Amino acid sequence: MYLPRDLTKTFRFALSQFPAVLITGPRQSGKSTFLQQVMRDAPYITFDDPINRDFALHDPSGFLDQFHGRTVILDEIQYVPDIFRYIKIRIDKDRRPGIWIMTGSQRFSLMKNVSDTLAGRIAVLELCPFSLVPCNI
């Protein structure tokens, strides 16, 4: 059973404004499930899969070519941090909003790559685990 998240409205707004949206949060907070529910038609690629990770690490441009400007979910992006540079190049050629959707759990190293590479091109949202107490965002 899926429980809708408060982040849905904010996510949809960010998706309409930015070429890329990154959802961060602790492990097991529901990032992947959230995106698979609210973006059912978008291809979902996880870098937990060693085949996807290897392809993206060794041929990032070829890996990204397979999506041809379609909206795509790239899950666990922290495993392929160099791909941000290739996404930046694609965004600079095509600034349509809502193409690149990413998740990542390792916040500090991930955020350095994002802020260095995709500044002004990406909305960064945090998905907190279910709790009776609101998280600090």
Over the stretch 12-45, which tens digit does the pLDDT of each residue have? 999 999 999 999 888 887 888 889 989 999 999 9
Buried b (16+ CB within 10 A) or exposed e, 89-99: ebbeeeeeebb
Residue 135 reports pLDDT greater than 50: yes
- Calpha distance 110→115 (Å, rounded): 9
Give 15-126's CATH code, choosing from 3.30.565.10, 3.40.50.300, 3.30.930.10, 3.40.50.10190: 3.40.50.300
CB 89 within 8 A of CB 20: no
CA dihedral 15, 37, 24, 63 (to 10 degrees): -80
